[in-house]
Structure 1
Amino acid sequence: MQTQGQVRSANLAAVLACLRDDGPRSRAQLAAGTGLTKATVSSLVGELVDRGLVSEGGLLRPGSVGRPGTLVELAGRGTCGIGVEINVDYLAVLVLDVAGEVRRQARVALDTAALEPAEVLARASAMTAAAHAEHPAVGVTVAFPGGVQGSVVRTAPNLPRWVGTDVAAGFAELALPVRVANDADLSALAEWSAGPHAHVPDLVYLTGEVGVGGGVITGGQLLRGSTGLGGEVGHLALTPGDAACGCGRTGCWETVVGLAALLRAAADPGDPLRDPGRDLEDRLAEVADRARDGDARTLAALADIGTGLGVGAAVLVSLFDPAVVVLGGYFAQLGEFLLDPLTQALGARVADPHRVVLSTLGFTAAVRGGAHVALQPVFTDPTTVPLEASA
């Protein structure tokens, strides 16, 4: 049986969730949305204001008759989550407040594969500490391009020396709760929580970077698999040929549609496009410029990538029947050149090829998803946030 404190905590969480999912509401609307009495909602809103989690602002004017209600909305002051991404060629950090506003973000190019995990973790921890100093956070979630159990890397085809590394241990000096998760899973959560197709119950997210990752939302829940290592779609055995994959096998999907495949096809060794120390978005912008200038080699490479994406996406659409397939990472940045060949290949294999869209979150998806997860304890139990001294 729940205690009075547990009931109140659950009710506070219900009000917060209503504001997060439906936007600013009047007290009457909150009562209707949560099934609580207006008096209870009024008391809960007062406590959430005292905890700095909501604020009261403008007036709701539903019509010309009656007294206007005061709108309650999520407040960003003082409660933040931090998302960190460790990827093959960059590090990134993003701070998100409870209202969903980005407070700080940073990304640095880094040839992670050439460095020891301890050195990379030290740099990532320093970036995180700087963000936390500016915007105190309740927790950190680290996105990693591989399979993770707990906070330990179990599979990392493109960063093999990381296998067995306890990623959370690298952030111990922060004295914050640290979670570690697959980057594509976190990106899928970001799309589900904040993208243009937010709260679509069935969604597949595909991200293209050095590897290819996927996250699946089904029935509004992230599909993790029996051991939490689901979503390694880049290693589906979809392609004939002998191109070696970072996982040690051949025939993996990412050998055809991963960033490395694009850059090999579009540029010779020594071309600036293949410099891992150069910012990834700058390199992709140059690929787009070459394509717009009509460079035949670049256009052919992009067409092959798009066709390969359509072949693999058809398998995922047949398996999961999502309402939408969201392309992220470099697929989104070069989407104008990929969508036509992708749709043609997909349409030859499934009945409805027009469910593919481009992410608007770009390369921030994984860190945004990480920050979203870091904030979840607040939405689960708002009493974890202390009352403000001025309350």
Structure 2
Amino acid sequence: MTKEPRLTRALGGAAPPAGPAALRRANLSQVLRKLRDHPSLSRADIAEATGLHRATVSSLMAELLERRLAREVGVEHVGAIGRPRRAVTLYGAHVGALGLEINVDYIAVHGIDLSGRVLVERREVFDAMGSGPDRAVRRLGLAAKGAVEVMRRAGAVPAGIAVAVPGLVDVARGVVTLAPNLYWHDLPLAEQLSAMLGPLRVPVRVDNDANLAALAEYTSGVAAGTPHLVYLTGEVGVGGGIICGGELLRGADGFSGEVGHLSVDPNGDQCGCGRIGCWETKVGLAALVRAAMPEQAYGLPGMPVPDPDERVADIARGLSAGDRRMTEAVAQVGQWLGLGGSIVANLFNPRVIVIGGYFASLAQWLLPHAQEQLQRLVLAGPTARCRFVASTHGFGAASRGAASMVINQIIDDPITILEQRPHPAPY
């Protein structure tokens, strides 16, 4: 898995108190982090990389092997006559992490084990915008229960669940303060989902979808490891996740990144947030569908909500066939994408703006217009060297990032996992 040098500290909260238990936790975390960041390492490699004494590493590794959080995978020979070293890799097939995303028109699921092996991945069409919060949370709970059952059949018990939501989230309380496109206000999502899961007793966290998608891009995306990047969701709503100096930028109240509500046209359309001329009214998927396929626009009476991939595929086919209306609509969205991207670039000076969701699916048609506007409007000009790149995670970036956040939390504080006796299973 790709190295992520400092982001876990930004997500993990306050440091634990000092003392022998805290030292053990920190040492175990160091070892697990090194194993996560490399396909395999010897004990000597880990000692050298962490600065821990070899005897300490051997003791920690014995514990990790006993608990099946690591396993030996072979022997490495160093030099012509050097002693063989037993290589170790991250394992933890019995430890799961579940990421969920609920958006305007779908629910996405991404479940993995500690080593990153994908156990369940799916997306279902769901009209969350028109369903109301109670029905939406019930549907989300059913999706979570189904995913947990699949993971358990694979031998992995989820150690945590993280939910991505398109809106402002009070992360500490698990409350969705405002999700304008879902019409949610002050919804205690973590509490409600935990109650639905009942006897499963799995910790639930909630975070902004763009923040979690930015985490996925930073750890395993097209710009993995880039210390200064911005991720833009390409959904009905448009949000931004900002990685600055290798850390997620949250802001004073945790509400940073709401770039979709930058005011770009005082005479424009009303946004779901109630304001006029927000950027997402120009570049969100609903805006594109309304311009390119008005007969299939969001919110029309009696119009079912299709999978967003289906809408985008229809537009892509039209573009390939030279459909004039669709070509003009995408060109206009591309120009607005570049204009808003230039504001983001002028504010945060990222090296890369990663575009996700439908932006990525239509990148070959959108990006020439967007990049031209970006280069024209960024104050620093060519010296800033900022570019748009298309994500390869599709509409699953946020759920993938949610699962990664759970893994990060486990690795930052592995004690609770170590205290759980794993189900016996062969290597």
- What TM-score, normalized to structure 1? 0.94
Is 1:156 matched up with 2:179? yes
Indicate yes or no: 2:196 matched with 1:168. no
What amino acid sits opposite 1:141 in the alignment? A
Q: How does 1:175-186 map to 2 (within 5 A)?
A: 175-186=201-212
Residue 388 of structure 1: aligned partner: 422
Shift of 1:37: 1.7
> Per-residue displacement from partner, 1:286-319 (whole Å, max 9, x unpaired)?
1111111111111111111111111111111111
Q: 1:139 aligns with which of 131, 153, 160?
A: 160
- Cα distance in 1 for residues equivalent to 2:311 and 2:63: 49
Residue 105 (1) aligns with residue 121 (2): yes
Question: Identity rate of aligned residues, in percent?
Answer: 45
1:106–1:389 Cα change, 3 Å: closer
Distance 2:75 2:357 in 1: 40
Give the Å deviation of 1:323. 2.1
Query: Hey, what does 1:303 align to over in structure 2?
Result: 331
CA distance in 1, matches of 2:92, 2:345: 38
Aligned amino acid, residue 74 of structure 2:
G
| Residue 242 (structure 1) shift | 2.7
Aligned-partner Cα distance in 1 for 2:298–2:129: 18
2:321 counterpart of 1:293? yes
Rounded Cα–Cα distance in structure 1 between residues aligned with 2:423 and 2:97: 21
Counterpart Cα distance in 1 of 2:58 and 2:358: 47
Q: What are the superposed Cα offsets for residues 66-98 of structure 1, whole Å, 9 maximum, x if unpaired?
A: 234222111141111111111000111110221
Residues 389 and 247 (structure 1 numbering): CA distance in 2 closer, same or farther, change over 3 Å?
closer
- Write the mapping of 1:205-244 to structure 2, written as runs, cut at 5 A: 205-244=231-270
CA change 1:219–1:303 in 2 (3 A) is same
8 Å Cα contact 2:353-2:386 kept in structure 1: no
Partner of 1:130: 146
C-alpha separation in 2, matches of 1:271 and 1:323: 35
- Residue 59 of structure 1 corresponds to which residue in structure 2? 75
Q: Give a deviation string over 1:144-175, Cα, whole Å, max 9, x none.
A: 11101122222222122x11211113312322
Measured at CA, do residues 55 and 196 of structure 1 come closer, stay the same or move farther in structure 2, by a change above 3 Å? farther
1:62 Cα shift? Answer: 5.2
Asked if 1:281 corresponds to 2:315, the answer is no
Report the residue type matching 1:259 in the other structure: L
The 8 Å contact of residues 50 and 388 in structure 1, kept in 2 or not, is answered as no
CA deviation profile, 1:188-217 (whole Å, cap 9, x unmatched):
111112213222221110111011010001
CA shift for structure 1 position 65: 4.7
Q: Deviation string for 1:317-345 (max 9, x for gaps)?
A: 11111122111111111111111111111
Which residue in the other structure is 2:5 paired with? none
For the structure 1 residues 100 and 273, does the alpha-carbon distance in structure 2 shift closer, same or farther, using more than 3 Å as the test? farther
Residue 362 of structure 1 aligns with which residue?
394
Q: 1:328 aligns with which of 345, 350, 356?
A: 356
Q: In the aligned structure 1, how far is the partner of 2:416 from the partner of 2:202?
A: 14
Aligned to 1:260: 286
Q: CA offsets per residue over residues 92-150 of structure 1, 9 Å max, x none?
A: 11102211222101211111111121111111111111111222201111111110112
**What residue identity is the alignment partner of 2:47?**
A
Pairwise CA RMSD of aligned residues? 2.0
Q: Which aligned runs of 4 or more in structure 1 are off by greater than 6 angstroms?
A: 271-274
Aligned pair partner of 1:339 in 367, 372, 375: 367
1:164 partner letter: D
Q: How many residues align?
A: 390
- Structure 2 portions without partners, runs of 5+: 1-16, 152-156
Q: Report the residue type matching 1:251 in the other structure.
A: G
Tell me the CA shift for residue 273 of structure 1: 12
1:315 aligns with 2:343: yes
Question: How far, CA to CA, are the matches of 1:389 and 1:80 in structure 2?
Answer: 13
Displacement after TM superposition at 1:61 (Å): 4.6
Aligned-partner Cα distance in 2 for 1:52–1:191: 28
- Note if 1:25 corresponds to 2:41: yes
Q: Following the alignment from structure 2 to structure 1, what is the Cα–Cα distance between the partners of residues 423 and 319?
A: 57
